[in-house]
Amino acid sequence: MKSNEDLQQEVEDALKWEPLLEAAEIGVRVKNGIVTLSGTVDNYRKKMQAETAASHVPEVVAVVEEIKVAHPKSISDYDIAAHAVAAIKDNWNIPAEIISMKVENGYIYLSGFVPFQYQKEAAKRTVGSIDGVKDVINLIHVENQTDSPIDRQEVIDALLKHFSINANNIQVEVTGNTVILKGFVPSVEQKEEAAKVAWLCAGVIQVKNYLNINAD
């Protein structure tokens, strides 16, 4: 088990390797494996990158994100909305016709229903790359109407084959169209990735991710 000081240093080192970030922009505090990120950046992409980098460090159990976005120039909500709508339409992963968007003071609110979790995540990433965005509140619901049963072995095989997941200590349970993940993995990154893999399997409507973080 790493000390708070050691884990803080590893997170700070991880942030230094991110091409968009400057070390002075992000403050890092660590207590009991929980990392709090603070500071001010000039675009939302940096905010997302900092959160992702911190979550990839082994033994980080959670990330509290307190980073603020302050753009160097004023960008109107209309311009943000126009670029975000165009970006959603250009992304073939996202069913643009069933997603609604509201922009207020630089905050983008997404709503609607999509069939798959990866589409919800793709929508957030896509609009988060638009200049002027301060934050993205993703209220999109996943509503997969499939009646196909889940093949438990398919989920297990997908986890075992994934190059970035140590799935040896993951247990998979299936109830109806819900996948339940239990056990432990070494990092927050692997916990999140395991859920993404499960979501992509046929018949999955819901994933309950009860994986714990254990780097030992």
Q: Tell me, what's the pLDDT at 149?
A: 82
Q: What is the pLDDT of residues 9-26, one digit of tens each?
A: 999 998 988 888 876 789
Residues 6+ apart with CB under 8 A from 143: 113, 114, 115, 205
Q: What is the pLDDT of residues 50-65, one digit of tens each?
A: 998 898 888 888 999 9
pLDDT of 206 over the 90 cut = no
Higher pLDDT, 193 or 72: 193
pLDDT of 215 over the 70 cut = no
164, 188: one domain: yes
94, 59: one domain: no
Q: Tell me, what's the pLDDT at 147?
A: 66
How many domains are contained in the chain?
3
Q: Does residue 147 fall inside a structural domain?
A: no
Which of 103, 118, 142 represents a domain boundary (last residue)?
142
Please report, for the domain that includes residue 28, its CATH number.
3.30.1340.30
Rounded Cα distance between 163 and 77, Å, is 41
118, 171: one domain: no
Contact 71, 105 (CB under 8 A): no
Q: Tell me, what's the pLDDT at 23?
A: 65
pLDDT of 216 over the 70 cut = no
Q: Tell me, what's the pLDDT at 196?
A: 86
> pLDDT-based confidence at 72, cuts 50/70/90?
confident
Domain limits for position 129: 77-142
Q: Does residue 104 fall inside a structural domain?
A: yes
pLDDT of 173 over the 70 cut = yes
Q: Tell me, what's the pLDDT at 96?
A: 87
Arithmetic mean of pLDDT over the chain:
89
